[in-house]
Amino acid sequence: MQLKEIPLEGIPYDRLRIEKVPAAPAYQPRDPDLVPAANRAVVVNPDRICMPIGAMWAVLGVHRAIPFVQGAQGCTTYARYTFCRIFKEPATIATASFHEDAAVYGGRRNLVEGIRNLVVRYWPEVIGVVTTCSSEIMGDDIASFLKEARARLRAEIGPEKAEQIVMVQINTPSFAGSHVEGYDRAAKTFLQALAVKRDAPGNRVNIIPGLLYPGDIREIKHILQAMGVEATILFDISDTLDAPLEPPQRIPYYPPGGTRLAEIREMGNACATVALQADAGGSGAVYLERKFGIPAVMGPTPVGVAATDALLRHLSRFTGRDIPEELRAERGRLLDAMADALHHTMMKRVAIFGDPDIVAGVTRFTCELGMTPVAVAAGTPSRRFPQEVEAVFAEYRDLFLDAPKVFNGGDLFEFEEYLKTLPRLDLIIGNSKGVDIARELEVPLVRVGFPIYDRFGYQKRPIVGYRGAELLLYEIVNALLDYRYPDDRTQQL
Ligand code: SF4
């Protein structure tokens, strides 16, 4: 590319911006028959990753727990790499390390020896055995392998120690679903394996947060504490994947946090379960309702005013606790910021993509801000997602001239192709996988959801609750300001 010469007198202030070369004008329309993902045999730029990673995420939210991946090393390495990139924390994940012999003879020996090695080196309290494509296709009989593994442990470390180690089997064939379903299956499986009913329900609430970041879980804890609500959070990654650095650390190292085993067992005695993401964790809430009669609430993910109001109402209804002045003030401050920003956000056309629950939550919040969602895309297909966003569109129908386009499943290629046909787009909200799309369309990208690997500290920044929504609002407005206004005019806004 030829760079422009810098004139001897320098660059005047109004030309300091680097000129972007728009890629979109050179865009050649694709074969319309091949644009919809449903018409293709391949996925291009998927907005989902494999099922085991969701289960690993969940297991890492349990105290002294290690995921054991029954598959090849690659199925583990990429997950560890992903977690390290996103959380900037070490993620201890064991692997059965399949090679050709496992493909021929099955993964029994790998599992039995792998569990034995994991135990004698790391002494975990909980092992989440996460299956992969290869072990599921081979038909590994994990339940009987685990019996054999426990017999081996009994023989080597003694029956008492061997019995103390909890092993939970989570079947996650990646060809059957995405990371969202992997997390969902982990929630159900852990509760099936561990939750027990002892007596009449107490006043504790179960919270299954779904694929939310440590900063979000801290915000949920803040709400619970402000209301005086006692709760168990399954799976609590706030202090395992965002642990303080406290040298010297011992090996094996276990972060201080995570949901305790005893707490998971007690979840069978709660007064209610709130799954903040219906698609990621909702099955756990349904299981507790069917098995123990514990009322279950599914979502919405508490992004924005109405969804956070709904969470507070549920908590208040189940526990009899009032909504305190502290949270009312936070709500008021959010409303104040929304009113202050309305002339920036009103009628701005936004496209949103990511995991279904996050997209539904953010869609509602953008409507609360007076924005106009023009396209919303869930990377993982969901039964609830279309109804949820259509209900939001119906509620805010005055914002729309044309019906927003809803993608349920599909890939980002299809989403991008649609965005390129739009007369105007002001903003994209989604994860880091949208960077190239945003650059090509020359619109800003506000990063939310999973994964975010090209920004620093976003795992600590909440988007849930009133305070999280306020932070998200700042990002939306500042992204629009950076993009829409000359630098020398922003001081007047
Ligand atoms: S898609 Fe299957 S083979 Fe690939 S990493 Fe995930 S579990 Fe392993």
pLDDT category of residue 23 using cuts at 50, 70 and 90: very low
Asked whether residue 185 is assigned to any structural domain, the reply reads yes
Q: Are residues 311 and 346 in the same domain?
A: no
Cα(490)–Cα(478) distance, integer angstroms: 10
Ligand 1 nearest atom to the CA of residue 134, by list position: 3
Whole-number pLDDT of residue 18: 45
Q: How many CB atoms lie within 10 A of CB 94?
A: 23
- From 289, 322, 355, give the residue that closes a domain: 322
Query: What is the token pair recorded at 266?
Result: 């007690």
Whether pLDDT at 19 is above 50: no
Residue 403 exposed, middle or buried by CB count within 10 Å (0-12, 13-18, 19+): exposed
* Whether the Cβ atoms of residue 230 and residue 267 lie closer than 8 Å to each other: no
Whole-number pLDDT of residue 5: 63
Which of 12-16, 259-263, 478-482 is least confident?
Answer: 12-16
Query: What is the token pair recorded at 44?
Result: 């291009």
pLDDT digits (tens, 9 = 90+) for 369-387: 999 999 999 999 999 999 9
Vertex 383, ends 377 and 384: CA angle to 5°? Answer: 75
Whole-number pLDDT of residue 191: 98
Beta bridge partners, 351, equal: 375, 428
* Whether the Cβ atoms of residue 443 and residue 374 lie closer than 8 Å to each other: no
Take atom 4 of ligand 1 and give the residue whose Cα is closest. 75
Helix (H, G, I), strand (E, B) or coil at 183: helix
Q: Are residues 222 and 141 in the same domain?
A: no
Q: Which residues span the domain enclosing 178?
A: 51-194
* Whether the Cβ atoms of residue 110 and residue 97 lie closer than 8 Å to each other: yes
Number of domains in the chain: 3
Ordered DSSP codes for 193-221 = HH----SS--S-EEEE--S--HHHHHHHH
Vertex 57, ends 364 and 99: CA angle to 5°? Answer: 135
- Please tell me the pTM assigned to this model: 0.92
Q: Are residues 402 and 305 in the same domain?
A: no
Crossing angle, helix 465-484 and helix 356-368, to 10 degrees?
A: 70
Cα(170)–Cα(68) distance, integer angstroms: 10
Residue 398 CA, ligand 1 centroid: distance in Å? 44
Query: What is the token pair recorded at 308?
Result: 């956070």
Per the rule left: phi > 0, alpha: psi between -120 and 50, beta: everything else, 468 is alpha
Location of structure tokens 């509760």: 191
Asked whether residue 297 is assigned to any structural domain, the reply reads yes
Asked whether residue 247 is assigned to any structural domain, the reply reads no
Asked whether residue 211 is assigned to any structural domain, the reply reads yes
Take atom 2 of ligand 1 and give the residue whose Cα is closest. 133
Cβ partners under 8 Å of residue 95, min gap 6: 68, 69, 71, 72, 73, 75, 76, 77, 114
pLDDT digits (tens, 9 = 90+) for 86-123: 999 989 999 999 998 998 889 999 999 999 999 999 99
Whether pLDDT at 1 is above 70: no
Q: Are residues 209 and 111 in the same domain?
A: no
Cα(221)–Cα(467) distance, integer angstroms: 13
Asked whether residue 407 is assigned to any structural domain, the reply reads yes
Q: Which residues line ligand 1 (CB under 6 A)?
A: 50, 52, 71, 74-75, 78, 132-133, 174
- From 304, 322, 340, give the residue that closes a domain: 322
Q: Are residues 418 and 402 in the same domain?
A: yes
Q: Are residues 211 and 123 in the same domain?
A: no
Vertex 239, ends 233 and 240: CA angle to 5°? Answer: 95
Residues written for the chain: 493
Q: Are residues 332 and 418 in the same domain?
A: yes
* Whether the Cβ atoms of residue 280 and residue 322 lie closer than 8 Å to each other: no
Q: Are residues 211 and 306 in the same domain?
A: yes
Which CATH number fits the domain that encloses residue 387? Answer: 3.40.50.1980
Cα(301)–Cα(470) distance, integer angstroms: 15
Structural element, H or E, at residue 170: strand 166-170
Type of residue found at 238: S
Whole-number pLDDT of residue 245: 87
Residue 95 CA, ligand 1 centroid: distance in Å? 13
pLDDT digits (tens, 9 = 90+) for 274-308: 999 999 999 999 999 999 999 999 999 999 999 99
Cα(471)–Cα(330) distance, integer angstroms: 12
Take atom 3 of ligand 1 and give the residue whose Cα is closest. 133
| Pocket test residue of 73, 77, 131, 174 for ligand 1, highest count of atoms within 8 A of CB | 174
Residue 132 CA, ligand 1 centroid: distance in Å? 6
- From 301, 322, 343, give the residue that closes a domain: 322
Whole-number pLDDT of residue 11: 59
| Pocket test residue of 56, 83, 132, 136 for ligand 1, highest count of atoms within 8 A of CB | 132
Asked whether residue 6 is assigned to any structural domain, the reply reads no
Beta bridge partners, 69, equal: 95, 130
Asked whether residue 338 is assigned to any structural domain, the reply reads yes
pLDDT digits (tens, 9 = 90+) for 242-256: 999 887 677 888 998
Mean pLDDT of the chain: 92
Cβ partners under 8 Å of residue 492, min gap 6: none
Distances (CA, A) of 374 to 283, 364, 393, 422: 31, 13, 10, 9
Take atom 8 of ligand 1 and give the residue whose Cα is closest. 75
Q: Are residues 286 and 330 in the same domain?
A: no
Helix (H, G, I), strand (E, B) or coil at 469: helix
Percent of the chain with pLDDT over 70: 92
Q: Are residues 332 and 473 in the same domain?
A: yes
Asked whether residue 35 is assigned to any structural domain, the reply reads no
Residue 414 CA, ligand 1 centroid: distance in Å? 23
Q: Are residues 272 and 354 in the same domain?
A: no
* Whether the Cβ atoms of residue 66 and residue 123 lie closer than 8 Å to each other: no
Radius of gyration of the chain (CA): 24
Q: Are residues 347 and 367 in the same domain?
A: yes
Whole-number pLDDT of residue 21: 44
* Whether the Cβ atoms of residue 279 and residue 267 lie closer than 8 Å to each other: no
Nearest Cα neighbor of 377 from 411, 353, 351 is 353
Helix (H, G, I), strand (E, B) or coil at 346: coil
